[in-house]
């Protein structure tokens, strides 16, 4: 079970504390078990510092605490504080990254049977899509929907999303697309062939929590080959 330690202290020497944390990160390379750390200051009291450190488990956190470097850094941190830091130990019972959930909902919506959903709950009105297969970027929600409808008109398909990684305002998804060619696609008449394509999509999120920009990378050359479009060129 993921474990988070919440550390609160008061200090007017934040710059020195930041340097101390940098020293700990450098000195514990290859040994520390912490996976994520966030340090924040209270907007109503700049001397109130809160640090959140995440570990894979409580046991790993204890192993991290027993490192000699951690013990030394802790003693130096206490010396920088106006009072003794307090610690709160938390077992994580729910961990949901909302960007990851939105990305997965997006791929599910693209493959929805029947009419294409409006997508306005997922995509920003000024969505900007980059795809090296297109001569121009697709800009605006209406144009994005038109492009998705083109793909849906040519194929019955589903996405299998293997990984979604999120950081800051961006998320990246690795996916596999399995489809049946049922309609005209770039001048290729329906073949009824079962085709597959792998790819990755990078997403940038707007402040409203919606997808504002996408970068697509996919094996369209492999798709064209599966559709027989390259047969004459290969002869």
Which residues, in sequence order, are CB contacts of 115 under 8 Å at separation 6+? none
Same domain assignment for residues 131 and 226: yes
Same domain assignment for residues 30 and 106: no
pLDDT of res. 234:
53
Same domain assignment for residues 156 and 139: yes
Q: Which residue range(s) make up the domain with 87?
A: 3-91
pLDDT of res. 18:
86
Two structure tokens written together for 101: 């959930």
- Read out DSSP for 31-71? T----EEEEEEETTEEEEEEEEEEES-HHHHHHHHTSHHHH
Mean pLDDT of the chain: 91
Give mean pLDDT, residues 185-196. 95
Same domain assignment for residues 122 and 46: no
Domain count, the chain: 2
CATH number at residue 20: 3.30.70.100
Same domain assignment for residues 195 and 108: yes
Same domain assignment for residues 218 and 103: yes
Q: pTM of the full predicted structure?
A: 0.77
Say how far apart CA 22 and CA 37 lie, in whole Å: 11
CATH number at residue 149: 3.10.450.50
Give mean pLDDT, residues 33-53. 90
Residue 227: C-alpha distances to residues 119, 142, 196 (Å): 29, 28, 10
Over residues 52-78, the pLDDT tens digits come to 999 999 999 888 888 888 888 888 888
Same domain assignment for residues 50 and 135: no
Question: At residue 128, does pLDDT exceed 90?
Answer: yes
Same domain assignment for residues 85 and 107: no
């Amino acid at each position: 079970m993921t474990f988070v330690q919440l550390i609160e202290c008061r200090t007017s020497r934040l710059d020195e504390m930041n340097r101390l944390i940098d020293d700990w990160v450098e000195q514990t390379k290859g040994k520390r078990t912490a996976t994520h750390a966030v340090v924040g200051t209270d907007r109503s009291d700049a001397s109130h510092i809160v640090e959140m450190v995440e570990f894979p488990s409580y046991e790993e956190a204890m192993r991290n605490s027993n490192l000699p470097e951690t013990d030394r850094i802790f003693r130096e941190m206490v010396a920088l504080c106006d009072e003794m830091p307090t610690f709160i130990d938390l077992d994580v019972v729910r961990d949901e990254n909302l960007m990851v959930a939105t990305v997965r909902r997006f791929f599910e919506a693209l493959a929805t049977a029947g009419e294409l959903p409006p997508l306005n709950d997922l995509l920003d009105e000024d969505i900007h899509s980059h795809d090296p297969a297109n001569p121009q970027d697709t800009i605006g929600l209406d144009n994005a929907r038109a492009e998705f409808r083109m793909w849906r008109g040519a194929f019955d398909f589903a996405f299998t999303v293997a990984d979604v990684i999120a950081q800051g305002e961006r998320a990246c998804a690795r996916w596999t697309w399995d489809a049946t060619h049922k309609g005209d696609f770039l001048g290729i008449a329906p073949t009824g062939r079962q085709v597959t394509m792998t790819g990755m999509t990078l997403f940038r999120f707007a402040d409203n929590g919606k997808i504002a920009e996408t970068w697509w990378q996919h094996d369209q050359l492999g798709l064209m080959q599966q559709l027989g479009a390259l047969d004459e060129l290969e002869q």
